[in-house]
Structure 1
Amino acid sequence: MKWLYQKSFLFLFFFYFMVSCSSTKAIKEKKYLIVKEQGSFAVGGTIITNPGTFNPYKPTSEGQTFRGDHAYVFYQIPQKARKFPLVMWHGIGQFSKTWETTPDGREGYQTIFLRKNFSVYLINQPRRGNAGRSTVPAVINPIPDEQQWFDVFRVGVWPNYFEGVQFARDNETLNQYFRAMTPNIGSIDSQLNSDAIAALFHKIGPAILVTHSHSGGMGWLTAVKNQNVKAIVSYEPGSGFLFPEGEVPSALTSSAGALEASAVPMKDFLKLTQLPIVIYYGDNIPTTPSDNPGADGWRVRLQMARLWRDVVNKYGGDVTVVHLPEMGIKGNTHFPFSDLNNLVIAEVMSQWLKENGLDK
């Protein structure tokens, strides 16, 4: 595999050079994008049925139903679509906007990969965004928190940006960035969420799952539940690492708190060894303990990802953990796929798909 990584690195270096040297005009001149089919639907979820008989002339809750806890999915299928669609799942506090237009107004992964002839399915997980009809009560308190997220998402240490960060520094970009956040309508339920996305894979068939941050762990659960998940690309998974019973590592401590892994039966764990998985982490992650919790939490997440990789691969799996700065790709935040160099990041992913025969 070493020669493949060397070949990929040279290709990416050349690609990065070409993108960097292109004029703004050239970058903006895009060919027409022809979409063969697009639409949306709900998938998964539950139904609450109230006893009694509904009276349309004197309506009460008696005899009525309530559908909720489903996922909402928007999809686009290009002409000459490749075999495996990409299913893109947002992270915590986010919804499908994650994969759409970037905060600074460029094409996001949704469009970038449509141009590469992949069908793209964008998820709003249950109780989030367009899937906000929750079966549990919820209270949304407008507590100011954006400066903390600026730190946690590794744009910088508020109010300062990291040097060389791949994030535009104008006020409107930051405004769009923060307005892409949305609340949970009820508690986050990993089993319920992964059930809904497993139902999506039953509906559309074999596909590639692309997760981000909080959906990373739920992505592993989805692959355990549905073997139509043919590969996983995970950007900065932050929790939910699944280990075999009896092999769960000790919690990893950081100034952001302890990071714990979860145990699953060996028969479920082994399902994760049957598909290729790649994990990407961006820049500005400390290598030693830091008193900045926004950054230090990612130190132990990267550490846990490597521990998880080693155990999955020990049992015959195919997990690769890529720390982008080690490839020479620097400045990426917690959102590499929407950073200023997202074309380069997309090409890294494209090369991995190609090397694993997933771009047919």
Structure 2
Amino acid sequence: MSYNLKDFGSYTVGGRHLHVTEGTPRKVQFTRSVSFTVDPRGHFAVEHAYVQYFVPQDRRPGPPVVLVHGGGMSGSCWETTPDGRPGWLHLLLTHGFEVHVVDNVERGRAGFAPSLWDGDPILRSLEEAWTLFRIGPADGFATRTPFPGQLFPVRHFETFARQFVPRWLGTTPLQSTALQAVLERIGPALVICHSQGAEVTFDALSTAPELFEGIIAIEPSGLPDDANHAPNPPIVICAGDFLDTDSDWQTRAIGWDWFAQGAKTVRVLGATAFTSGNSHMMMMDTNNADVLDRALDALATLPA
């Protein structure tokens, strides 16, 4: 796979300055030979998003694409698959799309500030990911025995787990505000989101629908509170396989169908739309290129 870039770079957007007035300076050892006095008081840049952007030489007309990761992940989930195949970032660039990859508030290169948010961050275990992402049954984890027909690259599951990052559970409103700031900077865009990133995306949609040209939501774990689609752009929801193995996933699937019911601008692509065997991580499965192409094609058929 090859393409030429006209431009690429990064920027931070959104957030605020936090003024801390309490705390006691203390001396710390930065390296074996350098010590320094650290003062916890002062002004700090917090709650911003980090975005890396790529503009192909042969950029196609139309809006840019913004990639929004899910919970416990960062923008790296869009770059390459665990087994080294091109991720959706590279596939979109070969299609000629300008792409902006978000590390949202407190994730990846956006960084975080200690003690800024309530509670402790959580980090997903391999065991949790194995069952939650529907890679295989719980009793198959030790031997890495997946569901029959599983399309996730199971042999590289440990490589995938190295992408997990700590997350706080109460920062979704901050992430939605940061996403809106991204869109305000670059103009209306096609937003592709995954899992918890869909809640972030739909919350931003509710406050600034004019900034969205379309949405592709990969197994969204958050939807709008009502099915009023009047101001919405075209929306494609992609659903994987093995949903019948867990009651929570069955409930989510019912919600996706409810959201699309009677809406001309919303379409759900279920497991029958793709090669059977998709996990929750559809952008990493062995048919990830086909999933993306079918989602883009479906989006193009919906009324704006």
Same fold (TM over 0.5): yes
Aligned partner of residue 199 in structure 2, secondary structure: helix
Show the counterpart of 1:161.
146
Conserved? CA contact 2:16–2:48, under 8 Å: yes
- Percent sequence identity over matched residues? 26
Deviations 1:168-218 (A, max 9, x none): 232xx111111111111x443222111110011000001101010011122
Instruction: State how far apart, in whole Å, the 2-side matches of 1:106 and 1:321 are.
Output: 26
Q: Which amino acid aligns with 1:278?
A: V
Q: How does 1:1-360 map to 2 (within 5 A)?
A: 30=1, 32-50=2-20, 60-62=39-41, 64-82=42-60, 83-134=62-113, 135-136=116-117, 139-140=120-121, 145-158=125-138, 159=140, 160-170=145-155, 173-184=156-167, 186-226=168-208, 227-243=210-226, 273-286=231-244, 295-310=246-261, 313=263, 318-324=265-271, 326-327=272-273, 329-356=275-302
Instruction: State how far apart, in whole Å, the 2-side matches of 1:155 and 1:274 are.
Output: 33
Conserved? CA contact 1:167–1:339, under 8 Å: yes
Deviations 1:250-291 (A, max 9, x none): xxxxxxxxxxxxxxxxxxx556x43100101000111xxxxx
CA change 1:104–1:357 in 2 (3 A) is farther
Q: Which amino acid aligns with 2:233?
A: L
- State the shift of 1:240 in Å: 4.1
Conserved? CA contact 2:236–2:299, under 8 Å: no
Conserved? CA contact 1:38–1:77, under 8 Å: yes
Unaligned runs of 5+ in 2: 23-36
CA change 1:76–1:302 in 2 (3 A) is same
- State the shift of 1:239 in Å: 2.5
Runs of 4+, deviation exceeding 6 Å: none
Conserved? CA contact 1:67–1:133, under 8 Å: no
Aligned partner of residue 76 in structure 1, secondary structure: strand
CA change 1:93–1:141 in 2 (3 A) is closer
CA change 1:232–1:140 in 2 (3 A) is closer
Show the counterpart of 2:33.
none
Instruction: State how far apart, in whole Å, the 1-side matches of 2:92 and 2:82 are.
Output: 18
- State the shift of 1:322 in Å: 1.4
- State the shift of 1:357 in Å: 8.3
Unaligned runs of 5+ in 1: 1-29, 53-57, 245-268, 287-291
CA change 1:190–1:59 in 2 (3 A) is closer
- State the shift of 1:60 in Å: 4.2
Aligned length: 283
- State the shift of 1:355 in Å: 2.7
Aligned partner of residue 109 in structure 2, secondary structure: coil
Instruction: State how far apart, in whole Å, the 2-side matches of 1:110 and 1:344 are.
Output: 14
Aligned-residue RMSD, C-alpha: 2.5
Output the TM-score relative to the length of structure 1. 0.73
- State the shift of 1:46 in Å: 1.6
Aligned partner of residue 278 in structure 1, secondary structure: strand
- State the shift of 1:319 in Å: 0.9
Deviations 1:14-48 (A, max 9, x none): xxxxxxxxxxxxxxxx3x31011111111111211
CA change 1:75–1:145 in 2 (3 A) is same
Output the TM-score relative to the length of structure 2. 0.85
CA change 1:310–1:339 in 2 (3 A) is same
Instruction: State how far apart, in whole Å, the 2-side matches of 1:356 and 1:240 are.
Output: 19
Deviations 1:124-178 (A, max 9, x none): 1101111122333664577x821121011011113220111102232xx111111
